[in-house]
């Protein structure tokens, strides 16, 4: 009654009431909330204004998702910090929530399609996806996935919202679900905050969000930075788009194709490597990467395809990422045709 009376007084005075704090109990509940708004992650119903405690972040090289713009936030429980790890994803405490909204240009500015939550609970990470209504006033839980017609820049696509099982497949490392993007090296870049531009690792450290960061941390190259060598950008692109499955602990570990940035064996990267069981998906080609010959490389063939069972990645896109394919083609074309295929020669 007292809160209602206070809200009434504020309304009469023309002052908007302060938003309710992030509902940590709802985030950690066994059952997900039916709507995104129930968590109070944002101060407004349309999720344009993050609530207190949500920190925006970006990745140097992100996963391609049908040219969608992604708005990322991290929420940490009050008084807790994440811990730096030299490899893999930053170690987040229980209660951490990673928030990612997928959007496209619209006459009104932006149209939100879906918001994905990845919540760190006591027994592991749990993914949930919320799909926005046409009015952009509410996002509703969709565990079975959805299809959404999207038009942007003269292109029309049948956007695919993943179901829970597809989320888990991409996020599976060994036997556990884990985030993909927020590795320290992929966060090691500048971000423009409300108070100015700052390196994200420095900002997280200064504000107590992250501990244990050493003086020097390697950075994942930006895949679209023309000032960075093609080989470095290509490795970063494959790391972000493929390595969550194609790593020694990923779902595709039995393929023998490991595309993470730390991989140092040329054949494991696909150079001169014959597929284990690609079947028709190989397009009749012999090698994952045929040095000097992008048209003869299975990786290019599968990245260029949108056919189910052939296309790679299997989920998360319905169109070809032309710029990404062009980058990988350029990298393969630059490899010596008949020279050494050690990792040093590939990274030139």
Answer whether 82's CB lies under 8 Å from 204's CB: yes
pLDDT at 88: 87
Angle formed by the axes of helices 230-241 and 322-334, nearest 10°: 130
Q: What gap in Å lies between CA 275 and CA 254, rounded to an integer? A: 11
Confidence (pLDDT) at 344 = 63
128 forms bridges with which residues in the sheet?
117
Could you tell me if 77 and 96 are in contact, meaning their C-beta atoms sit under 8 angstroms apart? yes
Report the pLDDT value the prediction gives residue 134, as an integer from 0 to 100.
95
Number of H helices, E strands in the chain: 9, 14
pLDDT at 78: 93
Please tell me the predicted confidence (pLDDT) of residue 1.
42
* pLDDT given for residue 172 in this prediction: 76
Give dist(CA 210, CA 232) in Å, integer: 27
Per-residue pLDDT at 2: 46
Per residue of the chain (348 residues), what is the pLDDT tens digit?
Answer: 444 444 445 455 555 678 899 999 999 999 999 999 999 999 999 999 999 999 999 999 999 999 999 999 999 999 999 999 998 899 999 999 999 999 999 988 999 999 999 999 999 999 999 999 999 999 999 999 999 999 988 899 999 999 888 887 778 777 788 899 999 999 999 999 999 999 999 999 999 999 999 999 999 999 999 999 999 999 999 999 999 889 888 888 888 999 999 999 999 999 999 988 767 888 999 999 999 999 999 999 999 999 999 999 888 899 999 999 999 999 999 998 875 566 666 665
Instruction: Read off the pTM.
Output: 0.90
| Separation between Cα atoms, residue 139 and residue 122, nearest integer Å | 26
Q: Which residue, 176, 149, 168, 171, is CA-closest to 160?
A: 149
Q: Which helix (H) or strand (E) holds 110?
A: strand 109-121
Q: How far apart are the C-alpha atoms of 348 and 343, rounded to whole Å? A: 9
Q: Give how far the C-alpha of residue 169 lies from the chain's centroid of Cα atoms, to the nearest Å.
A: 14
| Three-state secondary structure call for residue 298 | helix
**8 A C-beta contact, residue 108 and residue 72:** no
Cα dihedral 316, 322, 324, 328, rounded to 10, equals: 130
Which of left, alpha, beta for 153 (phi over 0: left; psi -120 to 50: alpha)?
left
Whole-number pLDDT of residue 278? 60
Q: Could you please report the per-residue DSSP string of 161-207?
A: E--HHHHHHHHEETTEE--SS-BHHHH-SEEEETTEEEEHHHHHHHT
């Amino acid at each position: 009654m007292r809160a209602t009376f206070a809200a009434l007084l504020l309304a009469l005075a023309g002052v908007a009431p302060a938003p309710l704090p992030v509902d940590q109990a709802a985030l950690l509940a066994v059952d997900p909330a039916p709507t995104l708004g129930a968590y109070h992650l944002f101060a407004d119903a349309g999720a344009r204004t993050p609530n207190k405690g949500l920190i925006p972040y970006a990745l140097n090289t992100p996963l391609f998702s049908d040219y969608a713009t992604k708005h990322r936030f991290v929420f940490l429980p009050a008084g807790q910090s994440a811990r730096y790890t030299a490899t893999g994803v930053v170690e987040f405490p229980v209660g951490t929530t990673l928030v990612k909204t997928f959007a496209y240009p619209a006459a009104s500015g932006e149209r939100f399609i879906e918001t994905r939550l990845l919540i760190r609970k006591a027994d592991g990470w749990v993914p949930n996806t919320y799909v926005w209504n046409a009015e952009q006033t509410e996002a509703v839980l969709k565990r079975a996935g959805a299809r959404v017609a999207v038009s942007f820049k003269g292109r029309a696509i049948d956007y695919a919202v993943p179901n829970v099982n597809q989320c888990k497949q991409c996020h599976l490392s060994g036997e556990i679900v884990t985030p993909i993007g927020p590795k320290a090296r992929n966060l090691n870049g500048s971000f423009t905050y409300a108070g100015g531009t700052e390196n994200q690792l420095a900002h997280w450290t200064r504000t107590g969000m992250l501990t244990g960061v050493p003086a020097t941390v390697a950075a994942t190259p930006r895949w679209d930075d023309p000032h960075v060598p093609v080989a470095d950008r290509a490795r970063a692109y494959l790391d972000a788009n493929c390595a969550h499955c194609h790593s020694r602990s990923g779902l595709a570990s039995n393929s023998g194709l490991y595309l993470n940035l730390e991989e140092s064996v040329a054949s494991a990267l696909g150079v001169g490597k014959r597929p284990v069981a690609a079947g028709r998906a190989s397009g009749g080609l012999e090698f994952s990467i045929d040095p000097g010959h992008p048209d003869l490389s299975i990786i290019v063939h599968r990245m260029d395809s949108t056919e189910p069972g052939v296309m790679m990645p299997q989920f998360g896109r319905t169109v070809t990422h032309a710029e990404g394919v062009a980058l990988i083609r350029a990298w393969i074309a630059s490899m010596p045709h008949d020279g050494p295929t050690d990792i040093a020669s590939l990274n030139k």
